[in-house]
Structure 1
């Protein structure tokens, strides 16, 4: 039966009108009542199946959240490439993301920010180890060729960051949001620096301590469970600072506080490498991501970051976009996650499993489609005339 012959319920009618207003990608919807409708003029590139009715009130009010939760609950299935679903979504942003959603994130307490970080990163080290590479790097890798292994690309990313910082033996390095610690460990071993990492994740902190001990680097590498603001208040300063995949957790309202902390933590002429996901322009956080994946998070635009720097005596030196590298990284993660489902099911229920599957696959599609970017921004505190004149040191 074709749904165009007439909707048999008000809910069916409302959803038909909603989908009929979406453009950019042809698709098909199989409804719970056995009817199907194709939307768009060309051959459908994917199909959505609604096994049951969803709350029409929730669907109309917040279709992104309704879709995400419907997929998690097994009510909605996708037949086709999720990249096509994301392309449809990004081509219809005004219809899917409510204009009423606040753009500016609210000021939150340190304890709330710590809770938000631990919500995501303290799931368990065992869970992440199933699908991350051996370094346990949970950020965009750096692929020299598409054939690079994930571990190879992650080590190349760490080296890419460290080379940009132009480290010298005896210097001090701080990693804000140090994850499972491989960047500070590699910096100490490769460059002979004194390295410190800080994190708000209990699980990451414990694992990093273990790794430092295993490498015998207790006198050269330190890790602390501490907020960046509290570290800045202690008066410690560093020659070089890195922050990889942490800035998305700061929150737009806290950007001045973060920049002031960097200004305090960095020595004059010091270098900072900020590695963060970015939007092309300022926009609200995806509500499903906000609720289930990264509570309290906000993805900045590049211009938000760059416009802040001069106010804190920071001089922009280099900006690089690694968008396709993150798409490839996420595709590796999604494949490894899929291959680990038997073990994941021993830890979590089906709703959790589908949530993470949707998260990893959709993020890969967002980077492929160009809706998300990832930038590395290198800047100095004041002017430094002693740096390399070219970028050759990065690729040597």
Structure 2
């Protein structure tokens, strides 16, 4: 055990950018850094050194889930401190512990992977999402914007970027709970189709369409985007869906957009990006199986290969950090209700997920970009960005 203690003390000595306290299973503790202690890492039992060395992200993530490790203080602060210490070996290994080209997101696997995350119950998501049930990055025009306002801002921002005209057709790939397609139909009188692989989302969107009396303008289908046949759209949008496609299928995504767009049609892609492509192994195992965060160069390359004309690229990194902070707070406030149906391991897993993602965006480990691109030479597009902000 003495050897184990030496290993842990050596490992944690230069791990974080802030002053912290490390407490081991035998009650011994040590403070690293100078000044006020920002948080405490508590090991309730030793964790095999081989597991830490092999995959620190997965090992520490599972240890927190199962209470082998406790954190006294802000979980988000701990992970930001880890990422902000660029000299730490964990700063890099925890970002993308593996390149996940192993999982093939064919039609069967894609549906299974989406169901794993999104079909755990609308009631669960309703407890901590905003009033619009939007599960993607908000757009904060002001520090005082509520989460609901930020999500409405985001939808408005996207719809303005697409420069929708009455009577146009719009496809939303991965439509979530339907806020975007319903807003598009109500505000711009376009004919909107949303597609999803989640039965729970399908049920909710169908209910919303009927409630809004929008059956003539809006439809939703449970279908993989690759299975859409004999349809063409003036505009195509995808928000937070590409992360589920997988590295092996990025080219297929852009091929499909090319097939589904009319000539001169416009598409907006809103997705998480990295400096390099990959994924965190803990996230892949417990949160988003089959997921892959693409490098921005992969996406621009994919658009270029299909001869798409890239018109606009915008980074919304800090907007997603704040969105996740809202979700994390809402999640904690909803714990009395969540505990009625979820166990403590699940709760700690989701707490870690939400806080770790907030930390990742705030520290710049990952970004989120909106890409606006079109098929063919379209000289009718707006010349400046003014139309996006009117």
Q: TM-score, normalised by structure 1?
A: 0.93
1:110 CA drift (Å): 1.4
2:166 maps to which of 165, 169, 173:
169
Per the alignment, residue 355 of structure 2 pairs with: 361
Q: Helix, strand or coil for the counterpart of 2:214?
A: coil
The structure-2 alpha-carbon separation of the partners of 1:74 and 1:92, relative to structure 1 and needing over 3 Å to count, comes to: farther
Alignment partner of 1:278 is 2:273: yes
Q: Match of 1:110?
A: 107
In structure 2, the residue matched to 1:292 is 286
| 1:27–1:155 Cα change, 3 Å | same
* Equivalent residue, structure 1, for 2:200: 203
In 2 relative to 1, CA 341–200 (structure 1 residues): closer, same or farther, beyond 3 Å? Answer: same
| Distance change (3 Å), C-alpha of 1:378 and 1:22 | same
Q: Structure 1 unaligned runs (5+)?
A: 1-7
Taking a change above 3 Å as real, the CA distance of residues 23 and 146 of structure 1, as seen in their structure-2 partners, is closer
Distance 2:149 2:16 in 1: 40
Q: CA deviation at 1:89?
A: 3.0
**What secondary structure does 2:40 align onto?**
strand
Separation in 1, partners of 2:138, 2:14: 38
Shift of 1:21: 4.8
Q: Alignment partner of 1:209: what SS?
A: helix
Q: Are the equivalent residues in 2 in contact too, given 1:170–1:192 (CA < 8 A)?
A: yes
Q: Distance in 2 between matches of 1:320 and 1:333?
A: 23
1:76 Cα deviation after fit = 1.3
Query: CA–CA distance in 2 between the matches of 1:105 and 1:260?
Result: 21
Whether 2:57 is the aligned partner of 1:60: answer: no
Q: How many residues align?
A: 386
Deviations 1:230-267 (A, max 9, x none): 11xx1211000000000100001101111100000001
Q: How does 1:143-158 map to 2 (within 5 A)?
A: 143-158=140-155
- The CA deviation at 1:74 is 1.9
The answer for the alignment partner of 1:268 in structure 2 is: 263
Say whether residues 1:137 and 2:131 are aligned partners: no
Partner of 2:157: 160
- Is the counterpart of residue 183 in structure 1 residue 180 in structure 2? yes
Equivalence for 1:226: 223
- Tell me, in whole angstroms, the C-alpha distance in 2 between the residues paired with 1:350 and 1:23: 27
* Aligned counterpart for 1:258 among listed residues 253, 258, 263: 253
Q: Aligned partners of 2:314, 2:190: CA distance in 1, in Å?
A: 25
Is the 1:25–1:87 Cα contact (8 Å) retained in structure 2? no
